[in-house]
Amino acid sequence: MVTPLQADSCGIDEQKTRQLVEHLITNGVAGLFILGTNGEFYALSTEEKITLAKIVVEQAAGRVPVFAGAGGISTQAVSDLANEFAKVGVDAVSIITPFLIKISDRELINHYQEIAEKNQLPIILYNIPSNTGINISEAAFKELVKNPKIIGIKDSSGNVENIKMYIENSRQRADFSVLVGSDSKILTALKLGADGAVAATSNVLTKTDVAIYDLYQSGDLTKAQVLQASIDEFRRVLKFATVPAVLKYSCDLIGYPVGKTKLPVLPAEGKYVAEIKEVLTTYGTIEGFEVQ
């Protein structure tokens, strides 16, 4: 889920947050994943993160679980934030691998084990090596999956072999979920045995992404593949600006305004606006929105 911000991009917009939460739940999402990469976790203050989590939990009202990104570089800071999330009712914390510094497997394992020991919430590992420079290796994963407090992994590597490795090495845990974070690989991952997806495109293409999962579960792989392929055009225009500028602009265009991005991320350049609108219009019938 993107993070709705006030007009000056300082502070969480409560009304718009509640509106977006309601829109997503009404259109069938099975959970809300806040403060991820598209949620601008890297740019928000601790106060803003806790405020957002509180609002989302209140609006969700137990209808779907709420996962919140508590990741950072400092083990202690991550643990402290995770404990704050527990106080406002978050169901689980997503913890990205540390970034900027290149740590060893031993340090990575210790990072997660320390957080698990000091935090009461279940932990979802978050692997996005293109952004962090660290890929959770098979050796590290085999060790981490032994910890009962670690209940899942979101893999945004885009590497099918990587996803397959996590699935194969967690089969002994019936309570462990592998979630794909690369929207282009939703159906592929499900076929391999993944449990679901954390899909940023679902902020806009909610019904489409939910239907990919539902059609897979019902065995209609042909229709699921058609819908999987259909999101490629939206994914293409998302690359017209730095994440999540086009995604947030698209939310505005379909009637669920979420404000601008936090600096240093700037809005998409004007030369792309017409094409973004044109592409969104093609999804209107399925999604039930009109581009404004």
Respond yes or no: is residue 283 known to be catalytic. no
| List 16, 49, 126, 283, catalytic entry | 126
Catalytic residue among 49, 154, 185, 207: 154
Q: Which residues are annotated as a binding site for pyruvate?
A: 198
Beta-carbon contacts of residue 117 (< 8 Å; ≥ 6 apart): none
Q: Annotate 73-101 with b (16+ C-beta within 10 A) or e (fewer).
A: eebeebbbbbbbbbebebbbbbbbbbbee
Q: Is 216 a catalytic residue?
A: no
Which residues are the active-site residues?
A: 126, 154
